Amino acid sequence: MEVAHRAGTAEDVLSAFVGGLFFYMRFAQGRPDELVGTIEGLVESQPGAPVWRVALAGVLVECNRIDDARVHFMWLAEDDCAKVPNDVEYPVTIDGLARMAYRVRPPDTVLHSIYDRLLPFRGFMNWSGVGISGPNDLGLAMAAATLGRHDDADRHFAAALALCERAQARCWLARTHGDWSRVLADRGDTARAREQAEISIVMGEELGMTGPFGIVPRGRALLEAL
């Protein structure tokens, strides 16, 4: 930030860049509540960048503020995702919607639209402008699970894990194990849910994903509930 200020970088450009980096860090650490105010400001100041709205919805979901998140989710998803521009952030935004779908529970018509739009990007991670967002197969897995398509969901979860392992994206690897454990638990597959949750907890502890909304406390809560 010091170098950017000395170089005369515009404040909105700097805030977007630094905000993007902090988003990844706080999101992974399980501290998304610290991001809400900043991202709300970016949504207001940069209305031409809907990716900030999906980021806001994402942190609200992580903070268990589902009703607040649904407002921003549906703003992006309504009219067959008409407000999402077909630019470099397109798959980032669609993947974010897909990953949130399991908790937001939009109408099936919206879910099918999101899944179909993300499907061509399976097998890849996305560039968000400041970093690499998660595996698209994780979003596809969560959308498929929401639709009750268990075999498709398991196939996408396995593909997401394989991609994260190849990329050595350990935070996303831990998160994929954690999300799969939640889906399996809700499906009643207790043994597999426990296995996935235990993996996510071990990895989360190594990586510092221990904040109040992090992979570690969520995984422990799931194990206690099984």
Structure tokens at 40: 């709300």
Instruction: Determine the average pLDDT of the residues in 31-45.
Output: 87
Confidence check: pLDDT of 52 > 90:
no
Query: How many domains are there within the chain?
Result: 2
Judge if 113 and 217 occupy the same domain.
Answer: no
CB 12, CB 52: distance < 8 Å: no
Residue 157 placed within a domain:
no
Q: Of 134, 132, 225, nearest to 185 (Cα)?
A: 225
Judge if 138 and 54 occupy the same domain.
Answer: yes
Residue 156 placed within a domain:
no
22 confidence band (pLDDT: 50, 70, 90): confident
Judge if 134 and 191 occupy the same domain.
Answer: no
Judge if 23 and 80 occupy the same domain.
Answer: yes
Confidence check: pLDDT of 177 > 80:
yes
Q: Which residue has the tokens 């650490």?
A: 29
Range of the domain at 103: 2-144
Neighbours of 4 (CB within 10 A): 14
17 confidence band (pLDDT: 50, 70, 90): confident
Question: How high is the pLDDT of residue 90?
Answer: 94
Judge if 113 and 220 occupy the same domain.
Answer: no
- What's the pLDDT tens digit per position in 100-147? 999 999 999 999 999 999 999 999 999 887 788 899 999 999 999 999
